[in-house]
């Protein structure tokens, strides 16, 4: 689907287990394989607690997986330490869900934006004011905001500052963890437009975590759907209507659209998601799937390619396509 020469990061068989009470283990991520390409956005979507943020934290080395490897430009991030890891981090940046929580409230905006540039010796202290103003204007904020503190800014303005700080080091990959979920819809739209524009200008790879399939399909080049720590479907963003997995279909059915047929009942998934401490054998979605058969209860499905760029982990759906 994408040019392999543009791949800058690849996660291979990434698994993360956490110890739990009673000698049990909680598997937050299981055998995840994903690729990130220059100038492309990979959207990672799923319910709260499914392991999205846990996985993305590996990519910026805020945590390490129990098993697997994460190759950034051919080098395994999970094995890097010290100065080597520090130097790599400047090429992989993160925008957090709550930008205010990631800022030092006592620092002015110019210092927040320029701190990583100072740390890596990219600029001199005397250049901070001019550089901060340049990056503020790049995210459509007035240059004079450099004198302000974070608490003087609105939520949308703080998120733009977080993006400005992330792009300041000219990274090759930016991870965005629910970067727009706390914003008004109108502000959400402008932030997404800003992200898309910066990506086109700088050819940045983006990993975007979201709950809203309707939002992510509007700008993501590829979408990976996660359920209980497992990737159940990967498909092109523009072809999301062609989704096959029952869970992805359920997420699609929950998308609100003013053009939708309001005479039709909105379908919901009956039953609750199982505990991550008690995931059933076989398919993790079996307890909520109306199409479940005995094979689903016994054998865990693996991602199988239906067509270029579209993979699904389901014993039932896509079977005919695979045969063809």
Gap between the Cα atoms of 117 and 168, Å rounded? 7
Q: Could you give the C-alpha distances from 79 to 61, 63, 88, 177, 307, in angstroms and in order? A: 10, 12, 12, 24, 34
Residue 161 or 263, more confident: 161
Residue 242 or 180, more confident: 242
Helix H segments across the chain? 52-59, 82-89, 109-119, 128-138, 155-168, 185-202, 213-216, 246-253, 294-298, 319-323
Residue 97 has pLDDT above 60, yes or no: yes
Question: What mean pLDDT value characterizes the chain?
Answer: 89
The arithmetic mean of pLDDT across residues 210-217, rounded, is 84
Cβ atoms within 10 A of the Cβ of 276, count? 18
Residue 33 CB partners (closer than 8 Å, separation 6+)? 10, 11, 12, 13, 14, 231, 303
Gap between the Cα atoms of 290 and 145, Å rounded? 54
Parallel, antiparallel, or unpaired for β 41-45 and 205-210? parallel
Gap between the Cα atoms of 124 and 236, Å rounded? 43
Domain borders along the chain are: 4-91+171-323, 101-163
- pLDDT recorded at residue 264: 65
Residue 267 CB partners (closer than 8 Å, separation 6+)? 250, 253
- pLDDT recorded at residue 321: 56
Q: pLDDT for 52-66, tens place per residue?
A: 999 999 999 999 999
Q: pLDDT for 239-291, tens place per residue?
A: 988 999 999 988 887 766 655 555 666 566 666 788 888 888 899 999 888 88
Backbone angles phi, psi at 164, to 5 degrees: -60, -45
- pLDDT recorded at residue 211: 83
Residue 22 or 206, more confident: 206
CATH number, span 4-91+171-323: 3.40.50.300
| pLDDT band (50, 70, 90) for residue 87 | very high
| Largest interatomic CA distance in the chain | 69
The arithmetic mean of pLDDT across residues 225-236, rounded, is 95
The arithmetic mean of pLDDT across residues 225-229, rounded, is 94
Among 240, 323, 233, CA closest to 283:
233
Residue 320 has pLDDT above 80, yes or no: no
């Amino acid at each position: 689907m994408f040019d392999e020469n543009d791949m800058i990061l690849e996660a291979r068989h990434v698994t993360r287990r956490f110890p739990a009470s009673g000698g049990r283990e909680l598997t937050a991520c299981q055998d995840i394989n994903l690729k990130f390409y220059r100038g492309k956005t990979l959207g990672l979507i799923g319910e709260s607690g499914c392991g999205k943020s846990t996985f993305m934290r590996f990519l910026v080395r805020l945590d390490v997986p129990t098993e697997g490897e994460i190759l950034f430009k051919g080098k395994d991030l999970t094995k890097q330490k010290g100065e080597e890891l520090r130097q790599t981090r400047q090429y992989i940046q993160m925008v957090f869900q709550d930008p205010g929580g990631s800022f030092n409230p006592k620092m002015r905006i110019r210092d927040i934006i320029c701190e990583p540039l100072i740390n890596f010796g990219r600029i001199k202290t005397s250049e901070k004011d001019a550089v901060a103003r340049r990056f503020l204007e790049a995210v459509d904020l007035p240059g004079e905001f450099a004198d302000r503190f974070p608490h003087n800014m609105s939520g949308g303005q703080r998120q733009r500052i977080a993006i400005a700080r992330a792009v300041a080091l000219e990274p090759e990959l930016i991870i965005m963890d629910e970067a727009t979920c706390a914003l008004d819809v109108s502000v959400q739209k402008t932030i997404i437009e800003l992200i898309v524009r910066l990506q086109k200008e700088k050819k940045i790879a983006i990993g975007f975590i979201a709950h809203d399939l309707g939002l992510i399909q509007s700008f993501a080049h590829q979408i990976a759907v996660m359920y209980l720590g497992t990737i159940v479907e990967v498909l092109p963003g523009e072809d999301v209507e062609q989704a096959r997995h029952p869970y992805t279909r359920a997420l699609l059915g929950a998308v609100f659209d003013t053009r939708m047929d309001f005479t039709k009942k909105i379908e919901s998934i009956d039953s609750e998601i199982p505990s991550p401490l008690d995931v059933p054998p076989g398919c993790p979605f079996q307890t909520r799937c109306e199409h479940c058969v005995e094979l689903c209860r016994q054998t865990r499905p693996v991602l199988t390619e239906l067509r270029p760029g579209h993979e699904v982990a389901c014993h039932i759906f896509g079977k005919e396509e695979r045969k063809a």
